[in-house]
Each structure stands twice: as structure tokens, then as C-alpha cells.
Amino acid sequence: MPARPSLKRVPRATFLGRAIAGNLGALIVGVKYFIDPNRITLLYPHEYIKLRQGYRGYIVLIFDKCISCASCARICPARAMKMVTMEVKDKKLNRAMKKKYPVINYNRCIFCGYCVDVCPTEALYHVPYHDLVYLNMQDMILNVEEFQKEPEFVTAKEGVPVTYVFDEKRGLVKVSVEESSNQGSSSQPAGGGGSS
């Protein structure tokens, strides 16, 4: 004969009991954080999260490595990457010829990184930041010359790089990158690893 489960009856709380218990619980949490604050809010742009190498941020083209295969434009699910025809001088043949090179429209880009992954010559790479500001939407459509330059990350010049580490007592704690590297292996970095 199978064991018969027994149900434990929980006394039903009244509306007044729930209200008092809820408010009391909120007050206790407030007092706890007043005594021992653990503020993890990022004060952007005075601070910014230092992302690891390999984070899928903005994409940069290495012009000399591109073989015009158009794999990047074909695989792009958001149709952010297009091929444009340019006249270039072929060094081996020593004559002018037309080749196609990729350009990107950051209005459409979803930073999936398929274009970087599929490139057979590694002519595309990511930079580890993605939070740049453009003044208008037209500036987000890059031509071949602009696509070859790493975008300027102004926050890196003005702000303090921070990271989040896990502390046994306090949970997530925001520390500067220098402080984090000094702590060594006692704490583990939490998050900020990007999508790769």
C-alpha cells in the first residue's frame, strides 16, 4: 500500500497580518542596507564596466586581409552589412581593378558576431565596447574608410574601469579593475563577460 502524503495546514494570514509583515520586512531590509551599504549602481560615464577581450562590441575591418568573399554580408541576419564596390590597385598585377568590401549600418546591427565568426581571413574583429553615442542616425552608417578605424571610446579616457566580484558576505560588490586584480583568486569576477 503506497504511503499516504500528509498535508500540513498553514494558518491563513489576515489582510492586516500580511500588511504588517510586509512593511516590517521592508523596514528591516532598509535598515540593513543603511547600516551596511552595498551600492552596485554604475555611475556612468564616471565609471564603466571593463569588458573582457572577446566581447562582441563594435566591429572593425582590416582592409588588407579582406578577400571580398562577401560571406559576412551573406550571413548577416539583420542585413546590417553590405558589400560596396571600390576601385583599388592590385599589387601583384600592378593595375587598377574593382573589388567589393563590406560596410556596416549600426542602425541594424545586432552584434551577433556571425560576420566575424564566418570571415575566413579574420579580416573583421570586435572591440570590447558597444556603448558609443552618435549625433544622428546617418553617422551610424559607416563607409569603408570609417569601418577600418576603431571607434573612439571616450568613456575609457574619462571614467574608471570597474568590475563586479562575488563576495561571500555581501554578494555582488563593485570594485575597480586594479583592486580586482590585486585581490587575485580570492574573489571571482561576476558577469561582464559579454556574449561570447
Does the residue 95 lie in any domain?
yes
Does the residue 144 lie in any domain?
yes
Q: How is residue 3 written as a grid cell?
A: 504511503
Does the residue 50 lie in any domain?
no
Q: What are the mean pLDDT values of the chain's consecutive 10-residue runs (196 residues total)?
A: 78 81 90 82 87 88 94 96 91 86 95 95 92 88 94 86 87 85 56 41
Question: CATH number for the domain including 94?
Answer: 3.30.70.3270
What is the domain count for the chain? 1
pTM over 0.85: no
pLDDT at 124: 96
pLDDT at 142: 94
Question: Do 125 and 116 meet the contact criterion of CB atoms below 8 Å apart?
Answer: yes
Q: What range defines the domain where residue 143 resides?
A: 59-149
pLDDT at 5: 80
Those residues whose C-beta lies under 8 Å from the C-beta of residue 173, and which sit 6 or more positions away, are 38, 40, 164, 165, 166, 167, 187
Question: What Å distances lie between residue 86 and 64, 72, 119, 145, 151, CA to CA?
Answer: 13, 17, 19, 11, 22
Does the residue 173 lie in any domain?
no
